[in-house]
Each structure stands twice: as C-alpha cells, then as structure tokens.
C-alpha cells in the first residue's frame, strides 16, 4: 500500500529544489525541509480545525499503553486539586509531545483506558470542584501539567491510550509499542496529513520559503520522485 511518508515528501521536495535555479539549493538539508513540512502541516491543520470542524482522522496519531506512575498527593496538590490526603494521583511517566494549539478544542481527541473507557480532559483548576457535584465525585478526570497527563479519582490504573493532533509527528518516535516493540513513528510511517493536502503543503514550502513558483499539480505516485499530473 502506497502512502505519503515524511521520507517521500521531503525527498520529493529536495529533488524539486535541487533541480531549480536557486544558488543555495545544495546547502538546504533534509532536516531543514522536514522542519518546513512540520511547520506548514501545523499551519494548514490549525486553519482547518479553528473553523470548529471535527479533526480529520488522517490528522490523528495514537500512543498506546502509555505507562503511568502513582504518586501520593501531599501539600499544595491536596489544596489545589481539592482532594483528600492519602489519595494517589497517576501521572504519565514520559512527557507527551505537544498538540496543536487550537482555538475551539483540545488537541487531544481521546484519553482513556486501552479497553476504550474514555477519561474526561478538564482544566486543572476544575478538579477541585468535582467533589461538590453529586454525580461526578468519583469520576475519573485527566488534566495536563508540564507536558504530562495526570489522572485523578482512579484506582490501580497502569496504562492509558492517547490520541491527538500532535504538532511535530516524529516526536512519537520516542514511544515504543510494547506489543510490536516498534516506535510509534519513523520516517517511513504514514505522515498524518490527508493525501489531497500534500500538494498544497509542497507548493506553500516551495513558493514561500524558496520563491520557487510551481503550477497547481499533484504527485500521485508517492515514489519520492516529482511525477506531477496536471
């Protein structure tokens, strides 16, 4: 099955750049092009999602079986979270990649157990009021602090699954699938952008970063070569 990967997108762009007449084309590295791809993907996705739309499934990445660490609550956390002493809070062991900063919705599309029980993501300050609500006193809740997800009102929870629209897709390569023992992202993974958006992304990079004018066309072969079809 052919799909767009970070490797095919960046290689195609480099081939176009190096075939152009710009004098510094050979000095442009693959890493620089990758950075442009991430930046313009983020721009295009934010423009789309800030219209209030639901995220396209092609935008979303998943980290499964994300390990949690239990920590006993003490001091300021007991006061700020509005919970009793002696309770535990669960925190993701690893810091999560940053999601897109969106106007109308969270960059996370799912936080929950591997079995599919969703955990509501709330602002940290809201947790202190839950104990006064009749039906939500013992509800599991999640909040984000310094790049980590915290879960409160939970018992013996060891893992969660997280899905979201992440700003820099390769950062998921820091996380390893415990079943396959493979990272959740590499250069040959499907890049989280719809196929119809790839020509637009390439055109923006070439014209805005390099002043290379290109016709409106699409590369349908996904073979890391520039094979446009009008």
Residues 199, 158: one domain?
Answer: no
Q: What is the mean pLDDT of residues 167-183?
A: 94
* Whether residue 143 sits in one domain with residue 87: yes
∠ Cα 186 121 185 (to 5°)? 5
* Beta carbons of 106 and 121 less than 8 angstroms apart: yes
Is 34 within the bounds of a domain?
yes
**Is 171 within the bounds of a domain?**
no
50 and 66 within one domain: no
Identify which has the larger pLDDT, 118 or 88: 118
Tell me, yes or no, whether 158 and 66 share the same domain: yes
Judgement on whether residues 122 and 158 belong to the same structural domain of the protein = yes
- Is 1 contained in some domain? no
- Does residue 121 contact residue 179 with C-beta atoms inside 8 Å? no
Q: What pairs with residue 121 in β-bridges?
A: 142
Q: Provide the greatest CA pair distance for the chain.
A: 69
Residue-level pLDDT at 228: 45
Check if the beta carbon of residue 60 is closer than 8 Å to that of residue 162.
no
- Give the total number of structural domains in the chain: 2
Residue 76: the pLDDT is 60
Q: Which of 118, 164, 114 is nearest to 141 (CA)?
A: 118
Co-location of 30 and 65 in the same domain: no
Q: Which pLDDT belongs to residue 178?
A: 87
Top pLDDT among 149 and 128 is at: 149
- 137-153 exposure pattern, b = at least 16 Cβ within 10 A, e = fewer: eeebbbbbeeeebbbbb
Domain-located, residue 132: yes
- Is 198 inside any structural domain? yes
Residues 154 and 121 in one domain: yes
Quick one: pLDDT at residue 225?
A: 45
Contact 89, 150 (CB under 8 A): yes
pLDDT at 153 over 80: no
Taking the model in full, what pTM does it have? 0.82
pLDDT at 80 over 60: no
Q: Which of 164, 199, 218 is the last residue of a domain?
A: 164
Query: What is residue 166's DSSP assignment?
Result: B
Same domain, 198 and 219: yes
102 and 122 both lie in a single domain:
yes
> Do 68 and 53 reside in the same domain of the chain?
no
Judge if 115 and 47 occupy the same domain.
no
Is residue 67 domain-resident?
A: yes
Same domain for 51 and 70, yes or no, is no
**How many Å apart are CA 153 and CA 219, to the nearest integer?**
50
In a domain, 156, yes or no: yes
DSSP letter (8 states) at residue 89: E
- Domain hosting 66: range is 61-164
Q: Per-residue pLDDT tens for 185-219? A: 999 999 999 999 999 999 999 999 998 887 655 44
Q: Which of these, 155, 175, 148, 162, lies nearest to 93 by C-alpha position? A: 148
pLDDT tops 80 at residue 84: no
Q: Is residue 145 part of a domain?
A: yes
* pLDDT tens readout for residues 1-41: 568 999 999 999 999 998 887 666 668 899 999 999 999 99
């Amino acid at each position: 099955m052919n799909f767009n990967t970070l490797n095919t997108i960046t290689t195609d762009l480099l081939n176009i750049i190096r075939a152009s007449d710009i004098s510094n084309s050979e000095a442009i590295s693959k890493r620089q092009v990758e950075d442009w791809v991430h930046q313009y993907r983020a721009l295009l996705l934010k423009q789309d999602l800030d219209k209030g739309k639901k995220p396209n499934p092609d935008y979303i990445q998943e980290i499964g079986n994300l390990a949690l660490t239990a920590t006993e609550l003490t001091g300021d956390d007991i006061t700020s979270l509005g919970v009793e002493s002696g309770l535990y809070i669960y925190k993701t062991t690893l810091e999560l990649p940053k999601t897109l900063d969106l106007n109308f919705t969270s960059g996370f599309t799912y936080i929950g157990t591997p079995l599919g029980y969703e955990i509501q993501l709330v602002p940290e300050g809201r947790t202190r009021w839950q104990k006064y609500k009749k039906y939500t006193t013992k509800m599991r809740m999640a909040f984000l602090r310094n790049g980590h997800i915290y879960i409160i009102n939970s018992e013996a929870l060891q893992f969660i699954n997280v899905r979201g629209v992440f700003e820099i897709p390769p950062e998921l390569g820091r996380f390893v699938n415990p079943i396959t023992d493979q990272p959740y992202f590499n250069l040959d993974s499907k890049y989280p952008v719809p196929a119809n958006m790839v020509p637009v992304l390439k055109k923006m990079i070439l014209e805005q970063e390099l002043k290379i004018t290109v016709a409106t066309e699409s590369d349908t072969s996904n073979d890391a070569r520039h094979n446009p079809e009008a």
